[in-house]
Structure 1
């Protein structure tokens, strides 16, 4: 692979501005330089074949059509030195600690609102606040057991928190599959480099779920509740259930009995379920409480949860903090609940419910990224510098009609990493989604899912918008230098 012509307009995760590899990526870059174009193409093809055979798919919703396709995988990994990762990990643990305290407070005494640190108006208009959860005290005081926080690096090298996904975060199966594929493509590098493992995530997730069981001391019965095979992340649901050795169930497989316990239908009769890892949205999880016509949920499940007879992860109502407007207050939450400054800075945000911010956003739509508060997957957003006048005019009206629902951020010069192309390595923008598990302690994956824009110049990396993925290597430089 020829690196001589590789140039990037911003901070690159592998190559420095002078064209030399970053210290943690030196071994990888030199190894790739020793491979011919043919060898590179063969290895990328091998990676694509493995992804197809393993069924690593994601559904793209486009123009009303559901397109099920293999998630594009680029074989050149993203490299992060361990020393930097330890700082990032500490920042993620701090965020999750504060966010769980915030959610518990919001469904409890709402001290943060009474102390005027968090605006009551934002809570009043929150589409993810669930009155049915007021007064609930979930096991261990944890509401968001599984979180996927999106991180981005700006052109100056600063790593920012972009958003926290606390409802039903997805993508961890792709992280695990990416590592499996990378080991097949680069067995030599895994033998000679100190690349920290990610394989323990399924066992860590199992332990997180098991710790919630209302029947401590017994072997818990755990089930993953999926909306079914037509859900965009069904591959992940099946993958994680198999990896943890737990049951994969749909709503029709479960029922709540007169004793308020939740049971699973089996060929041997009813079996009590202790913990449900639910991948069904709040509004569809229990027709007794939420959407009465939902066929995805379980009648009486919230009643069972409130009675302490079954644990749910993530807890219903956790999404109150999964709001792109609420996100802007996380540094204040950290200061309020923990008495600490945020380790990971937030991407600067403009909140359109604030008149001063709104006036600035409306006057600068051509420079900003505008996001609705509760969309995910890259849907419903405006990338101002790439938008047409007609698109900007549309958002001007949307913001004025419902300012609470919109926030804006500067268009960052997102960092890049090389991908394989027919003309050699070419830079593409990317982000990073580490996964955080909260129980008595907090566990953070080593690295996470690196999502990459496959189109040159594109800033949209979401899988649902056609983005791809890379393996993420956290490299222990001390081990390598010592060796």
Structure 2
């Protein structure tokens, strides 16, 4: 395997400390990969592609005029992280989700943080994710965002920062699990020589968390995964998690709410009461009686059942009020306000375009900044200033001026890189990391997460829907720890 020409340039690399020296955490992996010749590497790469095809790991793209299922794009070189570093990350993620859940509960109840003017009231009341129908509700354990996926990036100095919080219907955890399964199949010998934290317990942890939300404590809870259906881009994940948990996979038409405001599932043996719904349907489609009256994806009356405490919904409706890129800028203040602690994991510097000083700065430096709409996901609607045309920059200047509340700006980060196998050989590509956090009666963080890779040279867009791929993520115990 040719490593002699590998060079990440000015970027922090996850595996190589210098062009010829691997990082301590990657030393054994590097030596192993270097011992393989080109044909062996290509054989492992082809084996991974066969695994993906046999396992049926896929995702759906809408942008080409049709719903197209594609095999999951995967790079076989893992991304190692030392467990000593991960222990800090884990504490930071737990701290963050606790504060965010306290914030959401506060916003829908006493609104102390708004009254104390730590977070502007207009920011919340002007958010499309703030649902008045959720006022006065406190879900089990005070946890609204039970499943979150926090996107982390490592900057040019090697510091892991939080890029954004995904608190509505975060996806990708099934691919994290499948990435490990594929890697163990094609590199089984590597796992014999290193202590790599397992991740296969996620479905068990997810089931335990969901069960802790059940309103009926005297019976084994009936848990259902509510999916929009087979044409949803994450349907593979919905079916995967339902199967792994032993839960029911249902669509809206499979459920109904009875006169006592309890949720039931239609079965061949008659109606069966459902205690917990892990919903993968957006808020506005979940109940046509309350939100979008034309929705065919949700369940009429489910909000009534939830408000009366007859069913638990995860994530709770309304949790998206904190899944807003403008609200994100206030999370360090939330941590201080609710927990009286300093944030363990730093944010990325963020300019709020609705603030006069920030608006002026952004307007003057558009060509240097990344502009993001506050409620988009999947990398859509973003302007990468340094890579944009003059026409694109002027277009965004007008969009921001028209609706400054809808945009934030961040500096273009020097995202870390890691080696991937390309048709031309080994080359650096930018990446991020999405760990998953479960918050129910207890809080738990995955050992690693989904590493997403921008497979196109020089690209910073890691989303699979836009050409990104992924890697297995290793949390590695080292001898000196």
Fold agreement, TM-score > 0.5: yes
Q: Distance in 1 between matches of 2:196 and 2:144?
A: 32
Q: Distance in 2 between matches of 1:62 and 1:223?
A: 30
**C-alpha contact 2:4 2:19 (8 A) present in aligned 1:** no
**C-alpha contact 1:144 1:314 (8 A) present in aligned 2:** yes
**C-alpha contact 1:60 1:466 (8 A) present in aligned 2:** no
After TM superposition, the structure 1 stretch with the greater mean CA deviation from structure 2, 50-59 or 303-312, is 50-59
Q: Distance in 2 between matches of 1:453 and 1:31?
A: 24
Cα-to-partner distance string for 1:179-227 (whole Å, 9 max, x where unaligned) = 0000001100111110110000000000000000110131100000000
**C-alpha contact 1:146 1:166 (8 A) present in aligned 2:** yes
1:180 match: 181
1:6 match: 6
2:224 match: 223
Report the CA distance shift for 1:393/1:65 in structure 2 as closer, same or farther (over 3 A): farther
Instruction: Mark the runs of 5 or more structure 2 residues left unpaired by the alignment.
Output: none
Residues 405-420 of structure 1 aligned to structure 2 (within 5 Å): 405-420=406-421
Corresponding position: 1:297 with 2:305: no
Q: Distance in 2 between matches of 1:404 and 1:238?
A: 37
**C-alpha contact 1:149 1:164 (8 A) present in aligned 2:** yes
1:26 match: 27
Q: Distance in 1 between matches of 2:119 and 2:350?
A: 15
Residues 464-475 of structure 1 aligned to structure 2 (within 5 Å): 464-475=465-476
SS at match of 1:414: coil
1:262 match: 263
2:316 match: 315
Q: How far is the alpha carbon of 1:466 from its aligned partner?
A: 1.5
Q: How far is the alpha carbon of 1:60 from its aligned partner?
A: 2.2
Q: Distance in 2 between matches of 1:123 and 1:233?
A: 29
SS at match of 2:264: strand
Q: How far is the alpha carbon of 1:59 from its aligned partner?
A: 1.6
Cα-to-partner distance string for 1:110-169 (whole Å, 9 max, x where unaligned) = 000000100011012100000000001111111000000000000110110000000000
Corresponding position: 1:339 with 2:340: yes
1:72 match: 73
2:104 match: 103
**C-alpha contact 1:154 1:414 (8 A) present in aligned 2:** yes
2:155 match: 154
SS at match of 1:277: strand
SS at match of 1:335: helix
Instruction: Mark the runs of 5 or more structure 1 residues left unpaired by the alignment.
Output: none
TM-score by length of 2: 0.99
1:241 match: 242
Q: How far is the alpha carbon of 1:108 from its aligned partner?
A: 0.4
SS at match of 2:196: coil
Q: Distance in 2 between matches of 1:121 and 1:60?
A: 36
After TM superposition, the structure 1 stretch with the greater mean CA deviation from structure 2, 2-11 or 172-181, is 2-11
Q: Distance in 2 between matches of 1:379 and 1:54?
A: 29
1:16 match: 17
| Ranges of 4+ aligned residues in structure 1 off by more than 6 Å | none
After TM superposition, the structure 1 stretch with the greater mean CA deviation from structure 2, 205-214 or 420-429, is 420-429
1:138 match: 139
Cα-to-partner distance string for 1:56-90 (whole Å, 9 max, x where unaligned) = 11122325443321121000000100000000000
Q: Distance in 1 between matches of 2:72 and 2:401?
A: 37
SS at match of 1:316: coil
Q: How far is the alpha carbon of 1:18 from its aligned partner?
A: 4.9
Cα-to-partner distance string for 1:32-67 (whole Å, 9 max, x where unaligned) = 000010000010111011112212111223254433
1:440 match: 441
Corresponding position: 1:382 with 2:398: no
After TM superposition, the structure 1 stretch with the greater mean CA deviation from structure 2, 429-438 or 47-56, is 47-56
SS at match of 2:78: strand
Cα-to-partner distance string for 1:257-290 (whole Å, 9 max, x where unaligned) = 0011100000000000000000000000000111
**C-alpha contact 2:79 2:471 (8 A) present in aligned 1:** yes
After TM superposition, the structure 1 stretch with the greater mean CA deviation from structure 2, 58-67 or 223-232, is 58-67
SS at match of 1:323: coil
